[in-house]
Structures are given as structure tokens and as C-alpha cells.
Homo-oligomer: A and B are copies of this chain.
Amino acid sequence: MKRTIVLASHHRLAEGLKDTLDFISGGGQDIVTLAAYLDNQPVEKQVDEVMTAFPADRDVVVLTDMTAGSVNQKFFKYRTRPHTHIISGMNLPLALGVAMEPADQYISDARIDALIQEAKDAIVNVNEIQVEEDDDDE
């Protein structure tokens, strides 16, 4: 068993996210990027080429840029493929969370939901963060 992370977006967000993810995580994950609408290739063909190339036992986690978009929609039919998770609205904390998962077992539905919750919690209004060190006031 092996896991592949698919990062998919309109234009180059997926490639940029892979670049940052590799830097932060140190690399080592099997990551495929799909950047749609950069040429005249139909998105559906791009998606099918990525998804049909995997062996049946491959654990596949697809992260896409947003739900309401053709890129995400073309992956939709693959949500019933065994060992396939599709999450939209990707950010770095989500990608990092998936990348750090142990690769020797399939990711469970419950674990995916936990990673999604962590990614939501990681969207933070930094202006509202309380500074802990108040040494200057002493």
C-alpha cells in the first residue's frame, strides 16, 4: 500500500502549495499536482488521467482549491473509489496534516474529519492573538 496526495486547482495554486509543503515537511511524500486552465486541455481529461493511473490499492487524498469549481466537480465521480478522500478549500495546515499521516495504513474517514477540523481551526485572526510574554511590563 502507498499513499498519493493530489493537489488540484485552477491555475498554479496547487504547484505553489506543493512547493511550500515540500519545504515545510522536508518532502518525501508522493504528491501529484494538477493545474487546470493553463492550456486547452479539458479538465476532465486531466483528472481522469491522474485518477485512472493509480493501482486499486493506492490510498489517494485529493485536495482541491474550492468546492464550487469545475476542478473539484471533475473529481466528484471518484469519491466512491475505494481508499479515496476528496477535500476542497485546501490550505497549508490541511496539506501538512495529510502529509504527516502514517503511510503504512489507510486514512480513516474519522481521521480525515479530524484533519479537516484542524485545518479550519488553523484559519486564525492574528490580530486577536494574545501575546503571552508580558516581561516588558514588569
The residues of A with any CB-CB pair to B shorter than 8 Å are 9-17, 19-20, 22-24, 37, 62, 64-67, 69, 72, 75-76, 79, 84-94, 96, 109, 112-113, 116, 119-120, 122-127, 129
Contact = CB atoms under 8 A, between A and B. Distances in A.
Report how many copies the assembly holds: 2
Contact of A90 (B10, B86, B91, B127): B91
Contacts of A126: 62, 64, 67, 72, 75-76, 79, 86-88
Contacts of A94: 123
A124 B88 contact: yes
Contacts of A20: 9-13, 65
**Centre residue among A10, A14, A75, A91 by max chain B CB count within 10 A:** A91
